[in-house]
Chains A and B, each alone.
Chain A
C-alpha cells in the first residue's frame, strides 16, 4: 500500500500511467512533470489515503483534465491550475474541499490529481472513476452510481476560470465547447461528493496500481518478468503481437461524432504464414480488437500496444506502420461489466454494433 507520492515516484507514475492510456502511450510530458517535480520539491510528498481512512462526510472533488495531449506538449501545465478551479468550486459550494480524488488515473490524468493535492495541501484518495481513459467526463463509475458531475469548475492554460452548474449532459456539452475555445485543454474539478457517496462507486487503489505498473515498466529485467508482473498488477494478457501493417482513420461509427475523439484503425499482423490479423478500432483510445474477424476484446476493457523491444506503450498518437508491438488486454473494473456499465461505455456506446465478449459468453 502506497501512502505517499514523492518526487522520486514521478517517473514510475508517468510510466505506469501509459498502460491504461492507449491514446497517448509513451508520449513524454517532460514539461508538465518538471513543473510537478518542482511543486513536490517545494511542498514535500503528497499524502495518499484510502477512502476508508477519511470521514464519511468529507468532501472530495475529482481532478482531471479534458482535452488533448498535444496542447500539454505545447504548453505544459504548471501543476497548480487546480488551485483556481477548486477555490472557484468551494466558493460556489460554500464549503471547503477536504480531499482530492482522481477523475481517471490514466495518462497525464494520473499525475494531475497529485499536483492538485500538492498545490492545495490536501490528501489524495487512492481511487478513480474510470480505471482507464474514456472520451467523456460523464463516462465514470461516479456517474454510473448517479453522482452529479457538478457543480464543476474548469481552468484553461491561459488562466480562464469557469464554473458550471447544470445537468450532467449539458455540463459535458458546455465544457467541450469551452475546452475547444480554450485551445483544446482544461483542467477540471468535478463530481463534488462525500466519501460516503464515493465509497459505493469509486474504483479503488488506482494510483497505487499505476505506480506499481510503472515500476515494472521501468525496472523489469526482462520481458517475461514484465508481462508476468503486468498480469498480476492489472490482469493484463497478451492478445497477440506482430508488426503494424496498416494505420488509417476511415472508420466512422454511427453516432460517434458525439465524442471529442478521432477514429483510428490499426492492423497488427502476426508473423508467419499462420499469423493472425489483429484489427484494432478506436477513437483516440482503442475500443475493439477483432482477431481474424472475431471480436476478441472490447471497451470498457483496456486495450493497448506494448512495444516489443522497449518496455513502453505505443500510443495511437505515435503508432506508425512498421512498429513491432504486442496487443495487451486488461479487464475493466467489474462495475463496468454490469448492464448499465456496458450501456454507458460498452462497444455499442461508441457505435460499434457488437456485443461485448462478456455478454456473448453469458448467452
Chain B
C-alpha cells in the first residue's frame, strides 16, 4: 500500500494505490502544511492493509523556491517554502571564459559571486593546466567577504577527473572550515555548464530542501505503521528523503514524470503516447512500460539544462491543436489524453471525438499523485568511457549497468528487484579514439510484479 501526494499551487492531491491499482483519492486546496496530516490519515484509514510508503511530488515547491530569488517571483503556494539561497560559484578552466556568467537566467539569479581560476582536465583525464590553489583561496576570500556561505566548484573535465575540484576543496576546507562546498564531480555527467547548473541548484536549495523534506517526513511519520518517506524524481522514479537532501535537483521534472506515469496507470495503457491538455498548452509525452521517456540536458520548464534527466515533453500552444490531432492520427500504438482544467477538458473532448482510438483519462484521482504512488526507486548514470574494442565497450557497459543497479539498491529498492530499463552507448564523434558516452537507466521492479 502506498500513498502518493502532490504538493503545488492548487493545494494537495493524494492517492492510495497498490500494485498499480488506485484504491482511494483525496484532495485539499487549503490549510497548507497544517492540513496535510488529516489528508494523509484519511487515505491511510481507507487502506485495507498497512501503508508502507508515502511518495511526495514537490517539484512545484522547489521551483517556487528557486524562482523566489529571481526577478519574476511567483505568488506563494499554499505551502510555505524557504526561498533558495544564492551561492558563490567557482569555475576551474585553463582561462576565464569571455562570458563568465552562466547562460541560464535562473542559474545567474542563484549565483551572487562568480569567479574562475586556472586548472582542469581534458576528456581523457589529462591535466590541461596546473590548478591554481592560491587563486582559489583568493576567490573564496572574496566570496566570504560578500557574505556567502556556500561555494560550488565546477572544473572542466571533472566528469573524468575530479582531482582539481578535490584539491581546491581540500585547501579551502583548511582555510574556511565553515564554508559549505559542493563539487560538480559529484553530480557527474558530460558538459561543464550542465554540471555547473546542477551543482549550483543543488547548493542553492540546501536549506529549502532540509526544511521541506523534514515537513514531509513529519507528516509521513504520523501515518500508522510508520511508512517510509520518498520523493518522486524527474526520471519517473523516486529517491529517499536522505538522498534528496543532497540532490534536490532530482526532484525537478517530477511533476511531468508523475503525470505521465499516472495517466498511463489510470488508463491502463503502459506503452502510450500521452497528451496533456491544460489552459493554453498542449504537451505530448511518451510512456514505455509504465515509465516516462526521459533525456538529460533538456531545458524543461525552468529553461535550464542539468545533468538530471527529465521527461521528454513536446510542448505546444493551444493553437497547435489541429496539427496535433493530425499527428495523433498517424501515431502507432495506444494514445491517451489527460486534461487538467476546464479548457483542457474541452481540448480532450474535441480530440477524442475526432480520433476514436484516443483514450481519455477519466478519474477522480490526480494523475500526478497516482504516478508518485506508483513510482519505484531509480537511478541514472551518465558516464564517458574509452573503449578500443567492442568487447571492452561491452565490459564497460556491463560495469555501468551493475553500478546503476547498485545505486537502485542503495536507494532502498527491494533486494533483487533491481533491473536495467535502458542502457545506451553512443560513440563520441571525431575524438580520434573510441570514446563512448554511456547512459544507463535502472529501476526497481514495479510493486505488483514482485512476489
Q: Interface on A for B, CB 8 Å cutoff?
A: 23-24, 28, 30-31, 33-35, 37-39, 66-71, 73-76, 78-80, 135, 157-159, 176, 179-180, 182-184, 221-223, 247, 249-250, 260-264, 271-272, 284-285, 309-310, 316-322
Contact = CB atoms under 8 A, between A and B. Distances in A.
Contacts of B393: 249
B424 interface: yes
Interface stretch (B54-62, B119-127, B231-239): B119-127
A284 B98 contact: no
Given A30-B103, A31-B97, A321-B422, A74 B429 contact: no
Contacts of B95: 78, 159
A82 to B, nearest CB: 13
A35 B427 contact: no
B439 A38 contact: no
Most A C-beta atoms less than 10 A away, residue of B192, B314, B428: B428
Contacts of A70: 123, 190, 384, 428, 431, 435, 437
A320 B428 contact: no
Given A38-B98, A183-B122, A158 B129 contact: yes
Contact of A264 (B93, B427, B431): B427
Contacts of A221: 323
Interface residues of B, number: 55
Contacts of B98: 35, 38-39, 78-80
A183 B191 contact: no
A318 B103 contact: no
A278 to B, nearest CB: 16
A108 B126 CA distance: 24
A79 B95 CA distance: 12
Contact of B99 (A37, A69, A319): A37
B305 interface: yes
A158 B427 contact: no
B298 to A, nearest CB: 10
27 contacts: A23-B429, A23-B430, A30-B305, A68-B435, A70-B190, A70-B435, A73-B190, A74-B156, A75-B120, A75-B128, A78-B97, A157-B94, A158-B129, A159-B94, A180-B433, A183-B128, A247-B425, A260-B431, A260-B433, A261-B430, A262-B435, A271-B332, A316-B427, A318-B295, A320-B424, A320-B426, A322-B422
Nearest to B425: A249
A34 B437 CA distance: 25
Contacts of B429: 23-24, 68-69, 261-262, 284-285, 316-317
A272 B295 CA distance: 27
B94 A184 contact: no
Given A157-B94, A184-B431, 12 more contacts: A34-B101, A35-B99, A68-B430, A68-B431, A70-B431, A75-B128, A179-B432, A184-B432, A249-B390, A284-B429, A317-B428, A322-B293
A197 to B, nearest CB: 27
B427 A317 contact: yes
A81 B404 CA distance: 39
B258 interface: no
A73 B191 contact: yes
B166 interface: no
B354 interface: no
A31 B193 contact: yes
B4 interface: no
Interface in B106-142: 120, 122-124, 126, 128-129
A184 B124 contact: yes
Interface of B: 93-95, 97-99, 101, 103-104, 120, 122-124, 126, 128-129, 156-157, 159, 190-194, 284, 288, 293, 295, 297, 305, 312, 314, 320, 323, 327, 332, 384, 390, 393, 422, 424-437, 439
Nearest to B196: A31
10 cross-chain pairs, A with B, having the tightest CB-CB distances, nearest first: A183-B122, A262-B427, A284-B429, A260-B432, A23-B429, A68-B431, A271-B332, A309-B314, A34-B99, A38-B99
Nearest to A119: B98
Contacts of A30: 103-104, 193, 305
A76 B193 contact: yes
Contacts of A34: 97, 99, 101, 103
B120 to A, nearest CB: 7
Nearest to A263: B427
Nearest to B159: A74
Nearest to A42: B98
A263 B104 CA distance: 34
A31 B323 contact: no
A157 B431 contact: no
A135 B430 contact: yes
Contacts of A69: 428-430
Contacts of A67: 430-432
Nearest to B431: A68
Contact of B123 (A38, A68, A176, A247): A68
A157 B157 CA distance: 12
Contacts of A223: 323, 327
B311 to A, nearest CB: 12
A250 B332 contact: no
A288 to B, nearest CB: 16
A260 B430 contact: yes
Nearest to B393: A249
B123 A183 contact: yes
Contacts of B192: 31, 73-76
A140 to B, nearest CB: 15
A322 B429 CA distance: 21
A151 B284 CA distance: 52
A23 B97 CA distance: 26
B390 A317 contact: no
Contact of B430 (A66, A76, A309, A310): A66
B241 to A, nearest CB: 31
A322 B288 contact: yes
Given A38-B99, A74-B191, A262 B428 contact: yes
